[in-house]
Structure 1
Amino acid sequence: MPKKIKIICKNLDNREFEFPIGTTLREMYDRLKINLPYPVMMATVNYKTEDLMFQVFRPKIVEFKDTSSEAGYRTYVRSLTMVLAKAVKDLFPNDVLRIEHPISHGYYCNINGRETKVSAEKIAKIKTRMKQIIADDLPIISHETPKNEAIKRFEAQGDFNTVSLIERLGKPFVRYFSLGTLYDYYVSVLVPSTGYLSLFDLREYENGIFLQVIDRHHPDRLSQFEPQPKLFKIFDEFSRWNTLIGLENSGDFNRVSNAEILENIIKVSESLHEKKIAQIADKIIENNKKIVLISGPSSSGKTTFSKRLTIQLMTSGIRPITLSMDNYFVNREDTPLDEDGNPDYESLYALDLELFRKQLGQLLAGETVEIPIFDFVSGKKQYNGDYLKLNGNSILIIEGIHALNPEISRGLDLSKIFKVYVSALTTISLNDHNWISTTDNRLLRRIVRDTKFRSYSAQHTIHMWPSVRRGEDRWIFPFQEEADVMFNSSLIFEFDMLCQQAVAALETVPQDSDEYVEADRLLKFLRYFKPSTDIEIPLTSLLREFLGGSNFKY
């Protein structure tokens, strides 16, 4: 009689079950008859991500994840990109597919570079081939081989970016995947077969391809395509700049061993930031704007951007005045409640919109107004004799998550208002088929900052992150195209700089906690970067807002 092992299933109220040694996760899922609302994609085993073909040989805690979970969604999208890569290889074996970046609730891809236009006919052929691959339910096979064997395989394919990733990991064995004759490397697990991937679409977008994927919140349907021309322009500009300086992937950085070269990369990147901020300041002055509204998601660097913009305006003889939207909170007893009955301080309606618009209108008309101060102890607005008037050379700078919401400026003279959207729009990748999530960029910044300055553990930050993202999805991202200009706060070298502090913070997350699933994923991601702690970055660098050492006061 075969030996059995005990499994604790979190999906079934942590009940214990017995299975023969070597049972796969997929077999367990089928035998347990778990009814997840959406198709199962993968599972966590002792709070680490595993694919459904993973065999279990010892007692474990298991939780199955469907497409409504963040981990399940990532697995679906990652697997779908392998189907796309397979279709391109089958039809056009000499072409090079690159998954560039997320945009418009999907992913922008190019073939043979951003300059090469992908025809509608070619896209239609690729889409048809993808549908056939999915209909055939082909197995996606996970391989684990000695490092040297994996390197030889990818060298033979001419995929030296992947070789660089494997070398950077420094592990004796390497996992990669095959789909038919296609061998590819992915940073995490894939689904067992192509039949799991029923929903997708391809369409023309700019010069390349838009891969439309499942909706994060309703994974039984496709995400809604929403053109984002301003956001795409920023991604495109910085991606071209990366190509120009020869730094498109993390492997390109790992090959930079000369400290002087890295210092020059930092100087050029920081100079590009300063140039962009100066151009924004010039645009504000040239167009005779009196109010600047700045918004962006968490950890995008809005505060440092505002401070550096202030300096650029001052060099042109302008007197910037900052105004906090926090002063316009409604009294605490009037704060709207969220769906759980808790005060929703991120809601637009947590602000006294009527007072805010009234006072901005008065300021634009040249009047003097008494600005309220919100007392967080009493939960009420107070008036302490703080008066404000915009003189001829004054510009009001207002930063807040709702700054780009049209309701904020409704009824005001929009010709006098300038709107800026700030976000960390990551444009480097790990390799051609493994992009870097802009959300991960911001989460790592926040983990480092929270640990260093706010006495929050990485576990706490990870626990709160889904709530932060829900607020962004509702109150920030829908209005980003309202901006007159977008500023990309990402720095091409920042993962190397964040790496050491982020790893130290993530390693404190208890390995028996739900948050460890995300901590482990981020730790694995950071292994692809080379910590750089002995290279100086400017004291005014936007990255100093998170790393510390800034000469700005926050």
Structure 2
Amino acid sequence: MAFSVSIRGIGVEKFHKPVSGIEVLSLCGLNDKPVVAWHVNGYLRPLTWTIDDHCEVDFVDTSSFEGMAVYRNTLSFLLVVACRKILGKEVFIRHSISDGFFCEVQGEGLDQEDLRLVREALESFVHDDLPIKMEVVPLDRAKQIFRSQNDLGKAALLEAARIDPVTLWSCDGVYGHFYTPLAPSAGYIKSWDLVPFRSGVVLRFPTVTSPKELPPFRPPRKLADVFEEYAEWLDILGVSTMDNLHRYVASGRAQELILVSEALHNQKLNEIAGDIIEKGTVKVICIAGPSGSGKTTTAKRLAICLRVCGKRPVVISLDDYFLDREKTPRDADGNFDFESIYALDLDFLEQQLDAILAGKEVVLPRFNFISGKREKGPTLKLEKQGVVIIEGIHGLNQLITRGIPDEKVYKIFVSPLTGISMDRHNRTSTTDNRLLRRLVRDYRTRGKSAEATLMQWPSVVKGAQDYIFPYQEKADRMFNSALVYELPVLKGYTEGLLRSVEESSPVYGEAQRLLTLSQYFPFIPSDVVPNTSILREFIGGSCFE
């Protein structure tokens, strides 16, 4: 029986027998494109997926977030296979760093000879186009497979999440489990590198903005220090992977985990306040970070810590210094570019900061996001022992504090820099963490649908790459706003929002990817979250609102 397939950007083709994505890709003459998967009726599928009925499809390449996730996971799996087959060692993929994954290898790590052997194995996999096969097996069989590979964390997570059946991937006799499809074979992985870094290696890959080649390797040293410190803290606490978190929740210890996580935030903020006091010259504290970092709550909690030290801090939000909407610059597509620093009225900000630091009384602005206009806000005059805390995504940019001597400025970079991993081979993306936070906040405070937030997210990420991350190493201190327990709390809010995205939506596949991830999180009710928590900035109920 003949069936029609509507291929986005190509047209409608008729087929008389079942066909795979690989075959359709070849028919369309797109073999030279970095395609790694395809959407079938909105669902992200591997290219080996076979269709036999009327449907709509479009190909997914590495210029998209979904395509890059497939590419990264495929490359990660090949590294796992290489280390296991060549060295007999296990890999722990820890966190992202400089457009790559920082990985630690079991034992004493990789010496130069080990690195050479692993590199040669990966090159051989790609050259030989080693196949990667998908298998769907019952839950009990999946647990047996991973236990036999001594991958007890994966087996424990699958058991806790109760996903049945389970999609597995096999390559050269090694099995893996990932939260996206994988490419059909190693030959799809054209660009990669392995770079020694500290106690491990960085597995490098292309990016959405550079999908065909590797961007320069510029490891941020301060950021790496925070990653190492937090990884050690998770290991000490015994919650480095999601199966550990399930055990905490199942044993009734979720409240303990929440209190410990919040205590760590308090400790770090007190350390920062102490550093500011010790410097003695600081009059302006700039807090910056990408969207969904928790900058507002961080600023207000830091203000409390400084009051304990005898200071009189005031908090100013850069969001209140937006230009009126019709004056906002536009991006290359003609849309308002709210992520640009030039969306702020920099001259007005400079005038107000100069007046505040001179001891004058000023009327602060308040930006009305509904009308798109700036309105009058409260009156402010800096007290004796006063300091100004400025929070906003551009806080580290030198244009914000132009004219203020460096010794009077203290800069803090805030972001959920790293969190709990799903298992040894699947990290939780800090970008996903921020996106889940923003989904909840946008719906709660601005009435935005999940679809609208997902549609806007790529421009938010690009804005962070262009205007925020280049300045992160200029910070005096970095504050990791991640909370080890937050994904289980956010789950109760995000699942319903993500399910509201319809199949016809261009972001339906992204919504499904996030839903798939959330299936593996335990659930923690939000009523146990303290009202001072950064998480309350997103779910509501903060005492700072």
TM range (shorter): over 0.9
Residue of structure 2 equivalent to 1:25: 21
| Range with greater deviation from structure 2 (296-305 or 527-536) | 527-536
Residue of structure 1 equivalent to 2:185: 193
Residue of structure 2 equivalent to 1:214: 206
| Range with greater deviation from structure 2 (478-487 or 255-264) | 255-264
Matched position secondary structure for 2:399: helix
**1:296 to partner: Cα distance:** 0.7
Q: Distance in 2 between matches of 1:347 and 1:515?
A: 24
- Relative to the length of structure 2, the TM-score reads 0.94
Would you say 1:290 and 2:283 are equivalent positions?
yes
Would you say 1:51 and 2:43 are equivalent positions?
no
Would you say 1:41 and 2:39 are equivalent positions?
no
Q: Distance in 1 between matches of 2:493 and 2:212?
A: 39
**1:497 to partner: Cα distance:** 0.8
Contact 2:254 2:524 in 1 (8 A): no
**1:313 to partner: Cα distance:** 1.3
**1:387 to partner: Cα distance:** 5.5
Matched position secondary structure for 1:418: strand
Matched position secondary structure for 1:68: coil
Would you say 1:108 and 2:93 are equivalent positions?
no
**1:405 to partner: Cα distance:** 1.0
Aligned ranges 1:80-91 → 2 under 5 Å: 80-91=75-86
Aligned ranges 1:114-513 → 2 under 5 Å: 116-258=108-250, 260-288=252-280, 289-330=282-323, 334-357=327-350, 359-361=352-354, 363-364=356-357, 366-368=358-360, 370-371=362-363, 373=365, 386=379, 388=381, 390-513=382-505
Q: Distance in 2 between matches of 1:468 and 1:340?
A: 14
Change (3 A) 1:326 1:371: farther
Change (3 A) 1:197 1:323: same
Contact 1:424 1:489 in 2 (8 A): yes
The superposition leaves residues 79-136 of structure 1 with CA deviations (integer Å, 9 ceiling, x where unpaired) of 111111121112211x2211111111111000126xx453233222211221111111
Contact 1:42 1:65 in 2 (8 A): yes
**1:375 to partner: Cα distance:** 6.4
**1:322 to partner: Cα distance:** 1.7
**1:338 to partner: Cα distance:** 2.1
Amino acid of the structure 2 residue aligned with 1:422: V
Q: Distance in 1 between matches of 2:373 and 2:534?
A: 33
Contact 2:249 2:524 in 1 (8 A): no
Would you say 1:544 and 2:542 are equivalent positions?
no
* Percent of aligned positions that are identical: 36
Q: Distance in 2 between matches of 1:452 and 1:254?
A: 28
Change (3 A) 1:455 1:156: same
Change (3 A) 1:410 1:124: farther
Amino acid of the structure 1 residue aligned with 2:346: L
Q: Distance in 1 between matches of 2:258 and 2:372?
A: 44
**1:16 to partner: Cα distance:** 2.4
Change (3 A) 1:397 1:442: same
Q: Distance in 2 between matches of 1:410 and 1:209?
A: 39
Contact 1:134 1:195 in 2 (8 A): yes
Change (3 A) 1:356 1:254: same
The superposition leaves residues 205-233 of structure 1 with CA deviations (integer Å, 9 ceiling, x where unpaired) of 11110111113212121122112111111
Contact 1:140 1:191 in 2 (8 A): yes
Amino acid of the structure 1 residue aligned with 2:306: L
Matched position secondary structure for 1:419: strand
Q: Distance in 1 between matches of 2:210 and 2:234?
A: 35
Change (3 A) 1:362 1:452: closer
Q: Distance in 2 between matches of 1:475 and 1:263?
A: 38
| Range with greater deviation from structure 2 (429-438 or 121-130) | 121-130
Change (3 A) 1:343 1:451: closer
The superposition leaves residues 7-47 of structure 1 with CA deviations (integer Å, 9 ceiling, x where unpaired) of 111232xx3222234211110111122477x3211001111
Q: Distance in 2 between matches of 1:444 and 1:334?
A: 30
| Range with greater deviation from structure 2 (216-225 or 100-109) | 216-225
Question: How many residues of Structure 1 are paired with residues of Structure 2 in the alignment?
Answer: 543
Any unmatched runs of 5+ in structure 1? Answer: none
Contact 1:419 1:482 in 2 (8 A): yes
**1:271 to partner: Cα distance:** 0.7
Change (3 A) 1:535 1:334: closer
Change (3 A) 1:72 1:320: same
Amino acid of the structure 1 residue aligned with 2:24: M
The superposition leaves residues 54-97 of structure 1 with CA deviations (integer Å, 9 ceiling, x where unpaired) of 0112222111011111111111111111111121112211x221
The superposition leaves residues 305-328 of structure 1 with CA deviations (integer Å, 9 ceiling, x where unpaired) of 111111111122211112232454
| Range with greater deviation from structure 2 (15-24 or 219-228) | 15-24
Q: Distance in 2 between matches of 1:419 and 1:336?
A: 26
Amino acid of the structure 1 residue aligned with 2:61: D
| Range with greater deviation from structure 2 (310-319 or 43-52) | 310-319
Would you say 1:75 and 2:70 are equivalent positions?
yes
Where does structure 1 differ by over 6 angstroms across 4 or more consecutive aligned residues?
377-385
Could you say what the CA RMSD is over the residues aligned between the two structures, in angstroms?
A: 2.2
Q: Distance in 2 between matches of 1:539 and 1:380?
A: 31
Amino acid of the structure 2 residue aligned with 1:26: I
Amino acid of the structure 1 residue aligned with 2:26: D
Q: Distance in 1 between matches of 2:235 and 2:135?
A: 32
Matched position secondary structure for 1:164: helix
Q: Distance in 2 between matches of 1:506 and 1:224?
A: 35
Q: Distance in 2 between matches of 1:534 and 1:409?
A: 38
Any unmatched runs of 5+ in structure 2? Answer: none
Residue of structure 2 equivalent to 1:62: 57
Contact 1:140 1:194 in 2 (8 A): yes
Q: Distance in 1 between matches of 2:192 and 2:103?
A: 14
Contact 1:47 1:517 in 2 (8 A): yes
Amino acid of the structure 2 residue aligned with 1:92: L
Q: Distance in 2 between matches of 1:321 and 1:227?
A: 34
Matched position secondary structure for 1:434: coil
Would you say 1:10 and 2:11 are equivalent positions?
no
Q: Distance in 1 between matches of 2:229 and 2:435?
A: 24
Contact 1:540 1:552 in 2 (8 A): yes
